[in-house]
Amino acid sequence: MRIGTGYDVHRLVEDRDFILGGVKIPYEKGLLGHSDADVLTHAIMDALLGAAALGDIGKHFPDTEEKYKGISSIELLKHVKNLLEEKLYMVENIDATVIAQKPKLAPYLPEMVSNIAQALGIEVDRVNIKATTEEGLGFTGEGLGIAANAVCLLENMLNYQYDVTPGSTTGGCSGCSGCKKNYT
């Protein structure tokens, strides 16, 4: 089992789309960054990469590379999923918090959860996203930027035992009667 944390901040500016968790949210400002500046997805990617000891998003998606200019962070998250799979990690859960004074994010949270879960190929009940304000304090409270933090738990697939004996009648993994996958 591995735990990772991620944190990201982006400045709010005019003439940019406001993308959060892969959702384009109507707002007078957007987040400044080389990619789409999706601060939530960036924090989640850093948590996942950190838990797997694979560095951070700057290592994998440097802002000096033109191919990442304006790219969807959800697409980058799919690449992180592939990196995790190469190391045989699976995502147990993600818990993330967005810190923003405005706009109100509650109506968009279910779609954000769905986008993150879909990009990672996991169930929506493994992803939790919350939003909070800082009661007008600090750079987020003054509307200068938005921050996000995330925590994740990864499990290595090698830690699971499978009954792969031909003709086994035990069902699924370790005698579980759950999915009844045939591992022979």
Q: Is 8 annotated as a binding residue?
A: yes
Q: Is 129 annotated as a binding residue?
A: no
CA distance linking residue 79 with residue 155, whole number of Å: 18
Q: Is 10 annotated as a binding residue?
A: yes
Q: Is 3 annotated as a binding residue?
A: no
Q: Is 113 annotated as a binding residue?
A: no
Q: Is 57 annotated as a binding residue?
A: yes
Q: Is 134 annotated as a binding residue?
A: yes
Q: Is 142 annotated as a binding residue?
A: no
Q: Is 62 annotated as a binding residue?
A: yes
In angstroms, what CA-CA distances link 124 with 49, 55, 110, 113, 144?
Answer: 20, 26, 9, 6, 31
CA distance linking residue 19 with residue 30, whole number of Å: 7
CA distance linking residue 119 with residue 79, whole number of Å: 9
Q: Is 163 annotated as a binding residue?
A: no
Q: Is 14 annotated as a binding residue?
A: no
**Binding site as annotated, residues:** 8-10, 34-35, 42, 56-58, 61-65, 132-135, 139
**Binding site as annotated, residues for a divalent metal cation:** 8, 10, 42
